[in-house]
Amino acid sequence: MEEQKSRRVRLVLFPCPLQGHINPMLQLASILYSKGFSITIIHPRFISPNSYNYPHFTFIPIHDGISGIQASISDVLPLLSLLNVNCAVPLQDCLVRLLSDTNSAGGGEEEEPIACLISDAIMHFTQGVADSLKLPRLALRTSSIESFLAFAAFPVLRQKGYLPISDSQLETPVKELPPLRMKDLPVFNGHDQETLMGLNQLLISMVDQVKASSGLILNTFDYLEQSSLAALAQEFPIPVFTIGPFHKLFPASSSSLLSQDHSCIAWLDTQAPRSVIYISFGSIASMDESEFVEMAWGLAKSKCPFLWVVRSGLVQDSEQAEPVWPDGFLEMISGKGCIVKWAPQQDVLAHPAVGGFWSHNGWNSTLESICEGVPMLCRPNFGDQMVNARYVSHVWKVGLHLENRLERGEIERNIRRLMVEKEGEEMRERVMALKEKAEVCVRKGGCSNKHLGDLIAQIRGVSLQTRLEYK
Ligand code: UDX
């Protein structure tokens, strides 16, 4: 009876349409669905989540005004800025329709009014839309607390003259954000002044609109980011719900936008325990051709078996659908290396043959690695990845940071440090301890589990309130 009653409380979710953001949003949706809420996902039309993997959710695409060229995720800043402008009116219209038609997703059964909107923090315009409809909004920030605090500090850092970062100051500690150095700040390189101003505005709006929201949901666990919780509470005086790692409750595979090549699991089955290094740089990061070549030879020279995700767009400015491999490379790695375009990453990291992860330190990848007890080689590319890599290597000490320009000899040395030397073994022990903590956190009575209870209580509370408002 209780279950039936609660299932009729509806939540509307609005993700940021990038792989690293869609995964946690759909995991959160699955978690909340399992707690008895009904789920409606409104999303920009240009990227549609795999609705057939979620037959129990309602998906509503809205007009986003994004053309084919603008939809290029390799230049993510202009795309995010456009989405924040273009989606405002369509989202508002869609919510107005939903609010006035409580039966639209109910299959004839009477639905409760919408309890609240849960939207990605970077989709900051959603706060204004929610306010105009008197609908509470919860923000989901899909990265680490530390990187969020670093973004929140940007206005102060600019005022103090830290930004833009000059080459001579890269090693200088940022005393406001220890243990970050200037080069660990979550900047986006290679952009002109105008784009950087746009980024600044995007970040300021994200932070301001999270502060104006009814609460902040984070895909992390208290034990991991204990040292930042107090600073977060001070900077964001709103309810905060650290309820991760989400993927311990619901895997990311069903929200993958690319098709995952499962043949690599059969290849991993043939490899010795903890012998394989897995390499993936997520869905956006890229490198130039000369780094790609150094990487290929560094992997070959390390003599460690490897599984490498080489997705389309990994190599910058490559017109070719397939990467151009250095002469003799494929022959040299035959039997030692497996290359795929997109992997079932969680299954790969959980495989006993995998002993290390060379990662760009996107937050999902970082958490997935920690949760499988896999130490990392860190090669951050932009934004939050810089902060995550610093924490992985310097605070949690579960990875090595590749900081210089990629060079085959250095790659070979670092792979061997991680995979076969004592240093790597010690990192493995530390990351195994974090894995256990993550497991405890999501169990009944664990801190993430408790915070999830608090989140549900808050949503039920606002649900009552909105029901009264819309009576
Ligand atoms: C983006 C940003 O780049 C990242 O910094 C931010 O923290 C989240 O948004 P992305 O670069 O794609 O994400 O990286 P990440 O956060 O690691 O997310 C990638 C997701 O794709 C992971 O859930 C991972 O399991 C999945 N994945 C990756 C696959 O399913 N297969 C692959 O081959 C590689």
Q: Give the tens place of pLDDT for each residue, 113-152.
A: 799 999 999 999 999 999 999 999 999 999 999 999 999 9
Q: Which atom of ligand 1 is nearest to the CA of 21?
A: 9
Peptide bond into 245 cis (omega under 30): yes
CATH architecture of residue range(s) 2-158+188-254+442-469: 3-Layer(aba) Sandwich (3.40)
Domain limits, CATH 3.40.50.2000, in the chain: 2-158+188-254+442-469, 263-438
**How far, in Å, from the CA of 102 to the mean position of ligand 1?**
35
pLDDT digit string (tens) for 282-336? 999 999 999 999 999 999 999 999 999 999 889 987 666 678 899 999 999 998 9
User: Are 180 and 390 spatial neighbours (Cβ–Cβ below 8 Å)?
Assistant: yes
Q: Is the pLDDT at 5 greater than 50, yes or no? A: no
- CATH classification number, 263-438, choose in 3.40.1110.10, 3.10.129.10, 1.10.260.40, 3.40.50.2000: 3.40.50.2000
| CA–CA gap between residue 177 and residue 183 (Å, rounded) | 12
Ligand 1 centroid distance, CA of 363 (Å): 7
The pick from 287, 365, 369, 379 for probing ligand 1's pocket by mutation, whose C-beta has the most ligand atoms within 8 angstroms, reads: 365
How far, in Å, CA of 299 to CA of 313, rounded?
Answer: 20
Mean pLDDT across 335-362: 97
The vertex-390 CA angle with 389 and 395, nearest 5°, equals 115
For position 1, what pLDDT does the model report?
A: 34
Task: Report the pLDDT value the prediction gives residue 187, as an integer from 0 to 100.
Answer: 81
Pocket of ligand 1 (CB under 6 A): 18-21, 23, 142-143, 252, 256, 260, 280, 282-285, 309, 342-343, 345-346, 362-365, 368, 383-385
Residue whose CB lies within 8 A of the most ligand 1 atoms, among 203, 253, 345, for a mutation test: 345
Residue whose Cα lies nearest atom 15 of ligand 1: it is: 362
Which residue owns the Cα nearest ligand 1 atom 2?
362
For position 469, what pLDDT does the model report? 56
> Can you give the pLDDT at residue 69?
63
For residues 40-63, b (16+ Cβ closer than 10 Å) or e, as one string?
bbbbbebbebeeeebeebbebbbe
Choose among 377, 380, 386: nearest CA to 414: 377
What integer pLDDT is reported at residue 43 of this predicted model?
A: 97
pLDDT in tens, 92-119: 999 999 999 764 544 445 566 799 999 9
Q: Which helix (H) or strand (E) holds 83?
A: helix 76-86
Q: Does residue 154 register a pLDDT over 80?
A: yes
- pLDDT at position 367 over 90: yes
Please, are residues 294 and 410 in contact by the beta-carbon 8 Å criterion?
Answer: no
pLDDT of residue 320: 67
* Average of per-residue pLDDT across 28-35: 97
E strands, 219-353, are 240-242, 276-280, 306-309, 337-340
**Ligand 1 midpoint to CA 282 (Å):** 4
Average pLDDT, the chain: 91
Atom number in ligand 1 closest to CA 363: 7
Q: Is the pLDDT at 48 greater than 90, yes or no?
A: no
CA–centroid distance, 184 to ligand 1, in Å, is 19
CA-nearest residue for atom 3, ligand 1, is 362
Residue 412 clears pLDDT 80, i.e. is over it: yes
Number of C-beta neighbours around residue 381 at 10 A: 18
